[in-house]
């Protein structure tokens, strides 16, 4: 799967409250509605800046904080194709894979806001097209790759009737 889009850059420790605030997530299961508020506390205009396929690019510890799965779902429903960060918080990372949102660890210092990126998930290559750079990405653990390639944990369960890792 090849993903292509431009980079929206954030800093370190982007927590789940910033991704989707608690004041919205308790009210609805409509993820398209939640998506309109994605990253609102860090950039109130963020949703309107997204072109489908774009990437969120961040520093370390992306997704720290709550276990809310609304966080990766809001990102996915905002049509972000993947999140690239130096590192991820554990629960967010797992939730992203379970809900079918690609998350990739790499050296994001080599990406500037607005850079055009191309990510080959299967091949494990990230190209910064704007700068002519190939950035190595950390491969996903096989268990996670299996769940992600099935489309998330729900399709995995439907396919196998339980865990088949």
Among the residue ranges 47-55, 82-90, 120-128, 129-137, the one whose residues contact another protein (CB under 8 A)? 82-90
Q: Which of 35, 50, 57, 68 binds another protein (CB under 8 A)?
A: 68
H or E segment to which residue 117 belongs? strand 116-120
Judged by CB, which is closer to another protein: 55, or 62? 62
Cα 150–84–103 angle (5° rounding)? 20
Beta strands at 125-128 and 55-57: parallel, antiparallel or unpaired: unpaired
Among the residue ranges 47-55, 57-65, 107-115, 118-126, the one whose residues contact another protein (CB under 8 A)? 57-65
Gyration radius (Cα) of the chain, Å: 15
Q: Which of 4, 43, 53, 87 binds another protein (CB under 8 A)?
A: 87
Distance CA 32, CA 71 (A): 12
Distance CA 54, CA 3 (A): 9
Q: Interaction with another protein in 117-156: which residues (CB under 8 A)?
A: 141, 143, 152-154
User: Cα dihedral sign for 111, 15, 55, 44?
Assistant: negative
Judged by CB, which is closer to another protein: 87, or 128? 87
Give me the least distance between CB of 102 and another protein, in Å please.
Answer: 16
Give me the least distance between CB of 77 and another protein, in Å please.
Answer: 13
Burial class (CB in 10 A: 0-12, 13-18, 19+), 63: buried
Classify residue 22 by its DSSP letter. Answer: H
Q: Which residues bind another protein (CB under 8 A)?
A: 13, 15, 17-18, 21-23, 25-29, 41, 60-61, 64-70, 73, 87, 89-91, 94-95, 98-99, 141, 143, 152-154, 157-158, 161-163, 165
């Amino acid at each position: 799967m090849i993903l292509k889009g431009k980079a929206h850059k954030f800093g370190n420790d982007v927590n789940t409250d910033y991704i989707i605030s608690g004041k919205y997530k308790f009210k609805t299961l409509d993820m398209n509605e939640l998506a309109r508020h994605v990253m609102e506390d860090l950039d109130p205009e963020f949703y309107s800046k997204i072109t489908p396929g774009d990437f969120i690019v961040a520093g370390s510890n992306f997704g720290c904080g709550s276990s809310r799965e609304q966080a990766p779902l809001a990102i996915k429903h905002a049509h972000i194709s993947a999140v690239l960060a130096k590192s991820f918080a554990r629960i967010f990372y797992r939730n992203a894979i379970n809900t079918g949102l690609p998350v990739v660890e790499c050296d994001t210092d080599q990406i500037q806001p607005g850079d055009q990126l191309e990510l080959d998930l299967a091949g494990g290559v990230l190209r910064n097209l704007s700068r002519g750079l190939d950035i190595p990405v950390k491969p996903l653990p096989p268990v996670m790759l299996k769940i992600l390639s099935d489309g998330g944990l729900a399709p995995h369960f439907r396919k196998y009737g339980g865990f088949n890792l």
